[in-house]
Amino acid sequence: MVGCPPAPTTDEIAPLNLPAQPELTPSHLDAIAHGLRQQGWVIIPGFLPKVRWWPLLERARTISDYVPAGIGRGDNYRGDVRVRSDRVHWLESEHPADVEWLALMEELRQAINRRLFLGLFEFEAHYACYPPGSCYKRHVDAFRGQGNRVLSVVFYLNPSWQPADGGELVLYTGEDPGGLWLMPHGGTLAVFLSEDFDHEVLPAVRTRYSIAGWFRVNATTGEILDPPS
Ligand code: OGA
Ligand code: MN
Pairing label, strands 136-139, 149-156: unpaired
Which atom from ligand 1 is nearest to the alpha carbon of 130? 10
The β-bridge partners of 210 are: 128, 156
- What's the average model confidence in pLDDT over 63-78? 74
The β-bridge partners of 84 are: 136
Residue 66 has pLDDT above 50, yes or no: yes
CA 84 to chain centre: 15
- Tens-place pLDDT, residues 111-127: 999 999 999 999 999 99
> Which carries the bigger pLDDT value, residue 180 or residue 3?
180
pLDDT computed for residue 83 by the predictor: 83
pTM: 0.86
CA distance 163 to 172: 19
Mutate-to-test residue for ligand 1 from 83, 140, 154, 168, highest number of ligand atoms within 8 A of CB: 154
Per the prediction, the chain carries an average pLDDT of 87
DSSP string for 5-42: PPPPP-S----SS--SS----HHHHHHHHHHHHHTSEE
pLDDT computed for residue 11 by the predictor: 47
- Tens-place pLDDT, residues 135-191: 999 999 987 766 689 999 999 999 999 999 999 999 999 999 999 999 999 999 999
Ligand 1, residues at Cβ distance < 6 Å = 128, 136, 141, 154, 169, 184, 199, 201, 210, 212
The β-bridge partners of 193 are: 151
Give the pLDDT band of residue 13 (cuts 50, 70, 90): very low
Classify domain 26-70+79-216 by CATH number.
2.60.120.620
pLDDT computed for residue 76 by the predictor: 55
Residue 36 has pLDDT above 80, yes or no: yes
